[in-house]
A and B are shown apart, each in its own frame.
Chain A
Amino acid sequence: MKYVDEFRAPELIAKAGEEIRRLADPNRHYRIMEVCGGHTHAIYRFGLKDLLPPNVELIHGPGCPVCVLPMGRIDDGLSLAAQPDFIFAAFGDMMRVPGTHGSPLEYKARGMDVRIVYSPADALKLARNNPEKHVMFFAIGFETTAPSTALTVVRAKAEGLHNFSVFCNHVTIIPAIRAILDSPDMRLDGFVGPGHVSTVIGCRPYDWIAKDEGKPVVVSGFEPLDILQSIVMLLRQLRKGEAKVENQYKRVVPWEGNRAALRAMAEVFELRPYFEWRGLGFISQSALKIRASYAQWDAEQRFSVPGVRVTDPKAAQCGEVLKGVLKPAQCKLFGNECTPEQPVGALMVSSEGSCAAYYNYEHRKPVTIASAAAN
């Protein structure tokens, strides 16, 4: 496949691995955070940690929109859709996320009309094809997905489709990164910057991380070579004592972002004064809601939302794992009460959540596997 296979070429990956080993100062322990859940997933899927020297550590960040969604919001969404003639539509990622009384799939087993969609446009199509029903799209995602939801709402209005609404849980990435950097337990040397969010917001929004916090940021693609090259670029900056924002994913990410996408977002959304992030608490100006001009298509403005606040079980340490303070295996529930089949926290449900990724791909690997793989 073009633009995929080349970036998985084994010889080049080996070279990149060697360059990382060459650049990493043996007297330093590097802590690099990859913010985006897609990077977490790629790192595990391609076994990239096996290629890094032990003093280059990758810390998983909070860029997983499913993971940071408070359980109360899932409960709210499901209770809204519990009305007769409602269709609850969401991405596959949401289907197994547990609310207090079950996940969307479990609600489906109990009779709710729950549909998996691949795109907000699919949800609108459902509304078009089912005029007697109301389709509520449970929207999640960072700035990557928000423009698509926005455009879909614009189209719904243009078509005059009133049996469609969006329950909006879109969040923004910069406040999450700020929360990480503000956290006293965190010591980080640099960031592998989100690749797809950056196609929308561009690279400028990360300037403050380099200028004010003195940490280098390299916006990265998702293929093995992309991630390894980004680590090379970070190590080069760190060796020279530099801190700037670089764009490794140039072939896809425009430095200025996507103006049309930003316009669509501004047209439909405004920032909520504050929003609760699972594990990170309330963060101001960190989430999107639908403007009054599109109130008809906002499930929260149209219907009454219970506004349930559900606190995570005390034993679950989702917050610390989300911030990278704890490794998944260090959470007391990991692997016992909390597994991908009976997840307690969202980090275990979402395939990009660090706990699920670690559990599925890594944690039973004994150290000897590294040599088994090499043989």
Chain B
Amino acid sequence: MATPVTKIRFREPQIEMAHGAGGKASRRLVEGLFAPLLFGTSPGPLGDAAHIQINGTRIAMTTDSFVVNPLRFPGGSIGELAINGTVNDLAVSGARAEAIVCTYVLEAGLPTDVLEAEVRAMACAAEKAEVMIAGGDTKVVEHGKADRMYITTTGIGRLLSGVEISPQSVRPGDKVLLSGPIGDHGITILLARGELDLEADLRSDTRSVLPLVQALVGKAGAGVRWMRDPTRGGVATSLNELARDCGHGIILFEEKLPVRDSVRGACELLGLDPLHIANEGQFLAIVSAEHAESALWALRGTPGGEEAEMIGEIREQPAGAVLVTTLYGGSRLVDMLVGDPLPRIC
């Protein structure tokens, strides 16, 4: 009996860098090629982690790869990103990371002490995040084929009680919360590459957001509709995905967006928008109006959440889009990132 051939909707002839940037192109690739072939007929909206039932127990599972240049940067390194990234994906899906396995793809010629430093960093991050590293795998590829090292981590976790995340539960009137200042990580990396001859006292914000998520869920679990960690593509991309998935509009108040002066300054100089810059230690939460105030205070009262802000709200219009308003009544739409954020001159 012939099995039907699943057609893919992805039409582009080759893979470009933009497909990995976390914005529209990435979404096209995932939704148009991976999802139809791997996830069955109707995968539903794609979240940060998958929730699976095994013998009546619901567990969350996620995976992520880490490719960063340079490997070490102010505030962290690839080893920490690899742990925190997966812990965070689980956390924002409403789960506590229990165990992680990791794969290292190493480039031949990589100095051992560089590898050691990253493995130590990973161990340290895992201890801080209270997650066990259960195993791993290593491969070595020829020189020139792996940008020094690539790390993939896969994590499983137990669902936190009292919270049920779904974009469909988001309603007009809900509030948008953000755990802290945005843009730190992406700009730190951009500057650390040394190509732009800019210097700033900035560090990556990489950290586990689980304690903050737990504080939020503990206080307002019933009102938490949706969460996400805005990594590649930034807040704008994450919220555009939500807007598309829930069908409502998201209004952000520009004056409420927490952005450090140095990030703002670098973005002004380079013509970038902080809303499109990657973060590795923050998360967004949509919380019902009744719970929003106490949720915000729960975050602010938790170490690391002092700069949390209520940055916006859900409205019916503009349906499916994200709008940023200014104090003086001006507004602009903010779309997902198209490719990589490119410095703008003119």
Contact = CB atoms under 8 A, between A and B. Distances in A.
Assess A/B contact in the complex (Cβ within 8 A). Answer: yes
Interface of A: 1, 4, 10, 13-14, 17, 37-38, 41, 44-51, 64-66, 91-93, 95-96, 105-106, 108-109, 115-119, 122, 141, 145, 224, 340-341, 350-352, 360-366, 368-370, 372-374
Contacts of B331: 47, 50, 365, 369-370, 372-373
Interface stretch (B107-115, B162-170, B261-269): B261-269
B261 A1 contact: yes
A372 B318 contact: yes
A365 B325 contact: no
Interface string B1-33: 000000000000010111000001100000000
Given A10-B327, A340-B338, A364 B346 contact: no
Interface in B310-346: 315, 317-318, 321, 323, 325-335, 338-339, 342-346
B339 to A, nearest CB: 7
Nearest to B251: A372
Contact of B328 (A14, A65, A91, A105): A14
A119 to B, nearest CB: 8
Given A50-B329, A362-B333, A373-B329, A122 B197 contact: yes
Contact of B197 (A95, A118, A350, A364): A118
Contact of B344 (A92, A115, A370): A92
Given A38-B346, A47-B325, A373-B323, 15 more contacts: A1-B264, A46-B326, A47-B330, A96-B339, A105-B17, A109-B16, A116-B342, A118-B196, A122-B195, A341-B25, A350-B346, A361-B332, A361-B333, A363-B333, A372-B249
A364 B333 contact: yes
B344 A351 contact: yes
Nearest to B273: A45
Contacts of B14: 109
Given A96-B339, A116-B342, A45 B332 contact: yes
A93 B344 contact: yes
B270 interface: yes
B75 interface: no
12 contacts: A13-B330, A46-B332, A48-B330, A51-B328, A92-B270, A92-B345, A93-B344, A95-B342, A109-B17, A122-B195, A363-B333, A369-B331
B343 A116 contact: yes
The 4 closest A-B pairs by CB, nearest first: A47-B330, A92-B342, A10-B327, A13-B328
B143 to A, nearest CB: 18
B270 A118 contact: yes
Interface string B206-241: 000000000000000000000000000000000000
Contacts of B301: none
Contacts of B196: 118, 122
Interface of B: 14, 16-18, 24-25, 195-198, 249, 251, 261, 264-265, 268, 270-271, 315, 317-318, 321, 323, 325-335, 338-339, 342-346
**Which of A119, A341, A362 counts the most chain B CB atoms within 10 A?**
A341
Contacts of B261: 1
Contacts of A95: 342
Nearest to B327: A10
A1 B265 contact: yes
Nearest to A46: B330
Nearest to B255: A10
Contacts of B326: 10, 46-47
Contacts of A108: 17
A368 B315 CA distance: 12
B24 to A, nearest CB: 6
Contacts of B321: 364
Contacts of A10: 326-328
Given A109-B16, A109-B17, A118 B265 contact: no
B315 A372 contact: yes
Contacts of B328: 10, 13-14, 17, 51, 224
Nearest to B28: A341
A141 B323 CA distance: 31
Residue of A65, A95, A373 contacting most chain B CB atoms (<10 Å): A373
A374 B330 contact: no
Contacts of B345: 91-93, 118, 141, 145
A348 to B, nearest CB: 11
B304 to A, nearest CB: 26
Given A118-B197, A118-B343, A341-B25, A364 B318 contact: yes
Nearest to A91: B345
A66 to B, nearest CB: 7
A115 B195 contact: yes
B188 to A, nearest CB: 17
Contact of B346 (A4, A17, A65, A109): A65
Contacts of B346: 37-38, 41, 64-66, 91, 93, 141, 350, 352
A360 B333 contact: yes
Contacts of B323: 365, 369, 372-373
Given A46-B326, A93-B345, A365-B318, A4 B335 contact: no
A14 B330 CA distance: 10
Nearest to B253: A373
Nearest to A351: B344
A50 B332 CA distance: 9
Which of B198, B332, B333, B345 has the most chain A CB atoms inside 10 A of its CB?
A: B345
Contacts of A122: 195-197
A360 B317 CA distance: 17
Most buried by B among A117, A370, A372: A372
Nearest to B261: A1
A180 to B, nearest CB: 19
A209 to B, nearest CB: 22
B127 to A, nearest CB: 39
A119 B318 CA distance: 39
A116 B323 CA distance: 30
